[in-house]
Amino acid sequence: MSTTVAQHRTRPPAQPASLRAKRLPKYAPPAIAVGAVAVAAAVVYGTGIGGPVLVVAVAALLYLVGLFAAAHAVEGRRSARNRTWSALIHSAFVLAVLPLASVVWTLVSKGVERLDGNFFGTSMNNIGARDANGGAYHAIVGTLEQVGIAALITVPLGILCAIYIVEYGRGRFAFAIRFFVDVMTGIPSIVSGLFVLAFWVLVVSPVFNDGRPGFSGFAAALALSVLMLPTVVRSTEEMLRLVPAPLREGAYALGVPKWKTILRVVLPTALPGIVTGVMLAIARAAGETAPVLLVAGGGAAINFNPFENNQSSLSLFVYQQAGDASKYAPARAWTAALTLVALVLILTIAAKLLARRNRLGR
């Protein structure tokens, strides 16, 4: 740009009508697109090497090359790059939306097939390969109980841990705890399942269970709480840090002891944010399959007792039905998947809306 300005200064009579640089006409990009599709169709169908998908792929490539060439000729190299990258970024978006939209569409269209009262009111007990009905009642019971117990374990532990990190922890030890909470976020769900298998199912529970390994809903809850704990700690920690310092200082100035300040002033202020974090953690835990598969056993009958005998869960139900040879199994799997996604998304959306309404600071 500076060079053109300098040129204009030296040769005033040659000044163009407009101050702006030459631009591609508005109709050029669509025209290039149409041309690219035409050439691609001619090449692909002419040689007979593919179908409409290949036409689109080749046309996209030709469009990018054509756009770059045209812009380079008219507007220069920098603008040509700008246009090409812009087109690439937009196409990345389209490319990713297609499969994600397909997931959502399949989920809804296949899921409504068995979305009836029978599905939510019966279990898979005594349902053979030729029976069309059968449902996920036992799995829903299992999911709710396991996630509920996991939340009961995780929420107090996670909040206390976050309070230690933010309010009391100093120096190397607190840093180590923070660091390992972060590291714990990345533990694969199957590893937490294996841990509870090695710890609870094979070592501890045989003590109460006549020496037999005790697969149970409670074991699944333990595995889920290993996964939930870091999420709860991290979100609580962030919320506690957002509580304005003057609130704390005001309480201290009035002579309130520190522990009481934390319980009566800091925690209530941060409460909405903490609830959001807990709900997100619950949503994540509800969708986990691998740990439940390893330690809950996965029965077909309704079992309300999480401490004894096998229990199923919604995600495990989806996995089991997907592997079932019965021709009615896929419909059950899709409906259970739809139920699971609905449960998870309702929790997630509620949590995000809550977070948006009660935003602290930021």
Residue ranges in 44-63 that form contacts with another protein under rule CB under 8 A? 49-50, 53-54
- Is 108 among the residues that bind another protein (CB under 8 A)? no
Binding window for another protein (CB under 8 A); candidates: 8-16, 79-87, 120-128, 300-308: 79-87
- Is 203 among the residues that bind another protein (CB under 8 A)? yes
- Is 197 among the residues that bind another protein (CB under 8 A)? yes
- For the CB of residue 266, give the shortest distance to another protein in the complex, in Å: 9
DSSP 296: T
Q: What is the rounded CA–CA span in Å between residue 71 and residue 66?
A: 8
Q: What is the rounded CA–CA span in Å between residue 53 and residue 15?
A: 48
Residue whose CB is less far from another protein, 289 or 303:
289
Both tokens assigned to 92: 């990345």
Q: What is the rounded CA–CA span in Å between residue 352 and residue 342?
A: 15
- Is 283 among the residues that bind another protein (CB under 8 A)? yes
Both tokens assigned to 344: 């998870």
- Is 326 among the residues that bind another protein (CB under 8 A)? no
The secondary structure element, H or E, covering residue 72 is helix 52-74
- For the CB of residue 145, give the shortest distance to another protein in the complex, in Å: 18
Q: What is the rounded CA–CA span in Å between residue 297 and residue 336?
A: 18
- Is 262 among the residues that bind another protein (CB under 8 A)? yes
- Is 322 among the residues that bind another protein (CB under 8 A)? yes
Residue whose CB is less far from another protein, 14 or 253:
253
Binding window for another protein (CB under 8 A); candidates: 11-19, 27-35, 115-123, 259-267: 259-267
User: What SS3 state is found at 158?
Assistant: helix
- For the CB of residue 13, give the shortest distance to another protein in the complex, in Å: 25
- Is 224 among the residues that bind another protein (CB under 8 A)? no
Across 185-211, b (16+ Cβ under 10 Å) vs e yields eeeebeebbbbbbebbbeeebeeeeee
CA R_g for the chain? 30
Exactly one of 38, 61, 129, 176 binds another protein (CB under 8 A); that residue is: 176
